[in-house]
């Protein structure tokens, strides 16, 4: 039986502070998506500021886009701070499977206890040590091909409690229930570069608001609804992006 | 008695070159806001280029968002270059009060002679050594609570000549007159992440154009007018941002 | 006699993977422009990932905006990788002529065999060692004043095979034919900050799709068409940007 959540109202009421370690490419759109839902993004740069920022936050996003060695140090400090303070954090393993260094970084982080992992099928497969096919940071693998990898990751002791595998329909898995799928959406959504990065950040906001293991599913469903809304009036990628932010801002109740 | 300024026309006629040291998150929207008014943004990255860039510019913005130690060195080089060449510069003390390192950096810079300081109430209080309440980089303090701190800063020998304290109505203070307040605006404006950062940059453009001590007030009023315009047709945060840039671009005369 | 190309369809069919080394200011808009045309942007950050990313890509963009010494090392690694794998790469010499360090960097790179150089008149003049007039990164020189410099660069042994000099009409030169000019456009296009940066990236996508020496001309003409489309309904810079992305997304056949 479907359950109904007023996701937009719940997030806006909680106003979760989400520390985002993400790429410069993704940062602006990610910040506006969080704000459209009533969450508060903060994007710290200085490593000395980071433990304090994480201690004060409600959730943390670790996005591996445009990462380098200095950034990997930031990630570890942030993750340790979040774990120490029992703050939920989300791993978005952007580009895992697409280069040895980044794949190893992602695999190291997935064992540090993220609340949610949000990735495309290739990234989720790479996290589990399976072969992955990417074009740039886009997956050439199908969602279904990553379900087993996700279940393997969920079985790990320090593994995530929920995994969102993105696709035309997102597969959302936790440790207990069978696979849940998001509904709706629009074919233009994956054409918005950094759309997936923004979803990772909203998963973090959701994890701060919902103690349940369906925080990722709610975030994924919110993105499908906003994309459907945008698709009603969009004339191309530009007006689709504008409409998507409007759609998040005016989001009604979600059924999952 | 209200005075009338054709701010948009004056800025476009002068085409001030504004060197912006700002965060990657804020940079794209900041650049488009400046350009919508007819100013010319430049965002240098290499420290060796910086003194030359500042020497050639008409105004400088120092924005502390996403700052780190290397960036702090850039700030000091830029400020020294601006002071040496008698170019006005604006300090936007993003996140002052939210971490010891950043607060100290902001307090060091405010004593270096900025033309304008633009900050939220918490940041202005932190600059003056008062306790500040922030959520992320947003202020939980009211505008009125920062007036005394602003007056204290204005009294300093190397302090700013004008301070803009942002809020539902912005309080603008200089060394001579009583507090002036911006009028109008729209409740969605502060929901646009980096809106305040863009205002700091436009304060710099304004300081390049107007010798008076009301450059900051004009910039603040321009933002309120553009937000009012955007609010007329916006359906959510996305179309509000689009309409805001349109509003700056089509700005009529301002009464202050 | 004009030839007709279905640029949008050709790019979308090829789905070229374009590695972009560009500034944080330009990255978001650049990424969306590529995606609107059906190309796939990737923006790597870690130098160890770079040779692999370039080896897997279809084209490379080197954009000098916000560059520093560490970034210059990235550029050289990327260019060497592209040349080794015979992948076309585009040089966008942002700010050449505006500072000694950046001018030298641009001149070093132009001798490394780019497929296309895309620059404003001042930048193209600076590449050829001529005096250049800039305001920020905008050119104060006219397109015609840079034709001779472009011809000089094209004559170099390791020089580019095509040069696009941007302006109200872009001049496109290759080693064989006379100068070709793009048609149409809209006066607001150059007011969109980083519009030129996005064109550089689309030149790279085009170079991956068309073996001919008119890849740059096609990209330039695509931007003029999208700007014309945007101008039909734009109310200001915000809706112009939205309409521009819509225009790229819905681009019809190009006549060059």
Is B211 in CB contact (< 8 Å) with chain A? Answer: no
CA-based diameter of chain A, in Å? 48
The one-character DSSP state at C125 is: H
- DSSP H helical ranges for chain B: 7-14, 27-37, 50-56, 69-84, 100-110, 121-127, 147-155, 195-209, 215-233, 237-249
Contacts of C244 in chain A (CB under 8 A): 238
**Residue A1: predicted pLDDT:** 62
Contacts of C95 in chain B (CB under 8 A): 49
Task: Give yes or no for residue B237 having a pLDDT over 80.
Answer: yes
Higher-confidence residue: B213 or A75? A75
Which among A98, A100, A236 is the nearest to C246, CB-wise?
Answer: A236
Neighbours of chain C (3+ CB pairs under 8 A): A, B
Task: Give yes or no for residue B1 having a pLDDT over 70.
Answer: no
Selection from C81, C109, C115 nearest residue C95 by Cα: C109
Number of CB pairs, chain A paired with chain B, less than 8 A apart: 94
What's the mean pLDDT in A208-230?
A: 95
C-alpha–C-alpha distance, residues C223 and C184, integer Å = 9
Task: Give yes or no for residue A178 having a pLDDT over 90.
Answer: no
B245·C238 Cβ contact <8 A: yes
Q: What is the pLDDT along chain C (256 residues), one digit of tens a residue?
A: 689 999 999 999 999 999 999 998 999 999 999 999 999 999 876 677 788 889 999 999 999 987 788 889 999 999 999 999 999 999 999 989 987 888 999 999 999 999 999 999 999 999 999 999 888 778 888 999 999 999 999 998 888 999 999 999 999 999 987 899 999 999 999 999 999 999 999 999 999 999 777 999 999 999 999 999 999 999 999 999 999 999 999 999 999 8
Burial A42-61 (b: 16+ CB within 10 A, else e): bbbbbeebbbbbbebbbbbb
**% residues pLDDT > 70 (chain A):** 99
A25·C48 Cβ contact <8 A: no
Cβ neighbours for A85, distance < 8 A, ≥ 6 positions apart? A54, A55
B40·C242 Cβ contact <8 A: no
CA A52, A57, A63: angle at the middle one, nearest 5?
Answer: 95
Instruction: Provide the shortest C-alpha distance from residue B58 to chain A (in Å).
Output: 27
Contact A21, A45 (CB under 8 A): no
Cα separation values, C138 from A117, B4, C201, Å: 43, 31, 18
Q: A80 burial class (0-12, 13-18, 19+ CB within 10 angstroms)?
A: middle
Phi, psi dihedrals of residue B85, rounded to the nearest 5°:
-95, 5
CA C106 distance to own-chain centroid: 14
Cβ neighbours for A166, distance < 8 A, ≥ 6 positions apart? A118, A119, A120, A121, A143, A190, A196, A199, A220
B238·A32 Cβ contact <8 A: yes
Which CATH number is C149's domain given? 3.40.1190.20
For C123, the domain range is: 4-255
**Residue C39: predicted pLDDT:** 98
> Is this prediction's ipTM beyond 0.90?
yes
**Residue C1: predicted pLDDT:** 62
Counting the structural domains of chain A, the total is 1
Higher-confidence residue: C191 or B50? C191
Range of lowest pLDDT (A193-202, B172-181, C111-120):
B172-181
Length, in residues, of chain C:
256
Is B65 in CB contact (< 8 Å) with chain A? Answer: yes
Virtual CA dihedral for A7, A18, A99, C70, nearest 10 degrees? Answer: 150
**Residue A67: predicted pLDDT:** 79
Contacts of C239 in chain B (CB under 8 A): 242-243, 245-246
- B27-37 and B195-209 helices cross at what angle (nearest 10)? 40
Task: Give yes or no for residue B244 having a pLDDT over 90.
Answer: yes
Which among B36, B49, B243 is the nearest to C99, CB-wise?
Answer: B49
Contact A82, C36 (CB under 8 A): no
What residue of A is the nearest CA neighbor of B98?
A53
What's the mean pLDDT in B184-202?
A: 97
**Residue C2: predicted pLDDT:** 80
Kindly state the helix (H) or strand (E) to which residue A254 belongs, with its residue range: strand A254-255
Q: C12 burial class (0-12, 13-18, 19+ CB within 10 angstroms)?
A: middle
């Amino acid at each position: 039986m479907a359950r109904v959540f007023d996701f937009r109202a719940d997030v806006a009421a909680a106003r979760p502070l989400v520390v985002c370690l993400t790429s410069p490419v993704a940062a602006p759109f990610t910040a506006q998506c969080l704000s459209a839902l009533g969450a508060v993004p903060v994007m710290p740069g200085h490593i000395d500021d980071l433990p304090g920022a994480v201690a004060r936050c409600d959730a943390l996003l670790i996005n591996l886009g445009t990462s380098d060695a200095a950034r990997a140090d930031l990630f570890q400090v942030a993750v340790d701070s979040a774990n120490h303070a029992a703050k939920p954090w989300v791993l978005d393993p952007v580009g895992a499977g697409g280069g040895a260094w980044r794949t190893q970084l992602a695999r190291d982080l997935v064992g540090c206890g993220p609340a949610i992992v949000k990735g495309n099928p290739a990234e989720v497969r790479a996290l589990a040590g399976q072969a992955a096919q990417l074009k740039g940071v886009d997956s050439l693998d199908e969602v279904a091909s990553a379900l087993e990898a996700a279940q393997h990751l969920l079985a790990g002791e320090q593994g995530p409690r929920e995994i969102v595998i993105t696709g035309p329909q997102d597969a959302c898995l936790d440790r207990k229930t069978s696979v849940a799928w998001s509904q709706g959406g629009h074919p233009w959504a994956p054409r918005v570069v950094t759309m997936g990065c923004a979803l990772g950040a909203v998963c973090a906001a959701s994890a701060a608001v919902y103690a349940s293991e369906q925080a990722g599913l709610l975030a994924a469903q919110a993105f499908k609804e906003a994309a459907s809304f945008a698709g009603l009036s969009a004339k191309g990628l530009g007006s689709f992006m504008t409409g998507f932010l409007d759609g998040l801002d005016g989001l009604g109740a979600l059924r999952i």
